[in-house]
Each structure stands twice: as C-alpha cells, then as structure tokens.
C-alpha cells in the first residue's frame, strides 16, 4: 500500500468525475467516479500517513470539488477542474506520497 501513488489517482478522480458527467450528461455517474477516486485515496492516505493526514487530504479533495464550481464561473469549467486537480494532486504528493513514515504502524 505504501507504494500506491495517490496524487494521480486524486487528479484522475476529479478530472474523470467531471469528464464523465460532462460527456454523458449524467451527474450521478460522474459523482460515482469522483467518489471512487476519493475513497481509494482516503484509504491509501490513512494507511500511508495516518488519520490526521488522511483527514486533511480528504477535506482538500472535497473542497476542490466544491471550489471548482464557483471557480468555473470565473475561468471556465475545464480550466477550473484542471486547477483544483493540480492543487489536490500537489497536496497529496507533498503530504503523503513522498513522505516515509518509518517506525509507525502506518508504514506497512
């Protein structure tokens, strides 16, 4: 589990969720993709970095989804999704993916 890279999964969940919803017109289907990406990442963040980091990154992922809506009114839908995905992926990399928690029960 330690080697699962969550930054690209988080970005793919946000981008894929919007892309599916946009392409199909089915927001619920996009929501399933968004939720699946978030769940996979949250599980990996918890296992790799512990509950505090997992919580912070889960809030970041959820906030990115929420912020993308008003941001889209300013810069457009796709640029907004790419921007929040980049920020979320950067946070996931900085706080979990590159971090090695040695000597902890989370460093399996």
Above 50 in pLDDT, residue 103? no
**pLDDT tens-digit profile of 44-96?**
999 999 999 999 999 999 999 999 999 999 999 999 999 999 999 999 999 99
Q: Where are the alpha helices (DSSP H) in the chain?
A: 6-24, 27-49, 51-75, 77-92
At residue 2 the predicted structure's pLDDT band, cuts being 50, 70 and 90, is low
Distance separating alpha carbons of residues 16 and 9, to the nearest angstrom: 10
Above 80 in pLDDT, residue 6? yes
pTM given for the model: 0.88
């Amino acid at each position: 589990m330690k080697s699962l890279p969550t930054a690209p999964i988080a970005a793919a969940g946000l981008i894929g969720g919007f892309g599916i919803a946009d392409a199909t017109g089915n927001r619920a289907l996009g929501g399933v993709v968004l939720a699946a990406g978030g769940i996979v990442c949250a599980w990996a963040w918890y296992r790799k970095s512990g509950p505090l980091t997992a919580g912070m990154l889960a809030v970041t992922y959820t906030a990115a989804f929420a912020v993308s809506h008003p941001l889209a009114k300013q810069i457009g839908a796709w640029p907004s999704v790419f921007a929040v995905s980049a920020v979320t992926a950067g946070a996931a990399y900085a706080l979990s993916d590159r971090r090695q928690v040695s000597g902890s029960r989370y460093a399996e």
